[in-house]
Amino acid sequence: MNTFDRVKEILIAYAPDPEVTITADSDLIADIGLNSFDLASMIYDIEQEFDLKDMTDGGDIRELRIVSNLITFIDEQRGRSEEGGQMYENWRI
């Protein structure tokens, strides 16, 4: 299963509507309907799923509100960045 599919499963678990369509362009709040508690829980689950350190340490989490940015961030932190991804040089992970 690729990063997008794994993240999508996590997001669906927190979405108020489990039938929500999640695409790379989806906004976690506006399109998927996550609230602040959902976001905090979702971040924890992503850290556990992908064996990441504290994702909120040293960066602006608002940059990760779009699913594609979140995927790029995860892949870069795991060393699997694809060509052309947005860089998060200020994050300390």
Tens-place pLDDT, residues 62-87:
778 999 999 998 998 888 433 434 43
List pLDDT tens digits, range 14-37: 999 989 999 999 999 999 999 999
Record the pTM: 0.78
Q: Which CATH number does the domain housing residue 12 bear? A: 1.10.1200.10
**Helices (H) then strands (E): counts for the chain:** 3, 0
- Domain assignment of residue 84, yes or no: no
3-class SS shares of the chain: helix, strand, coil, % to 5: 45, 0, 55
- Domain assignment of residue 48, yes or no: yes
- Domain assignment of residue 87, yes or no: no
- Domain assignment of residue 72, yes or no: yes
Quote the number of domains for the chain.
1
The domain of 64 spans 3-77
Beta bridge partners of residue 27, listed in sequence order? 66
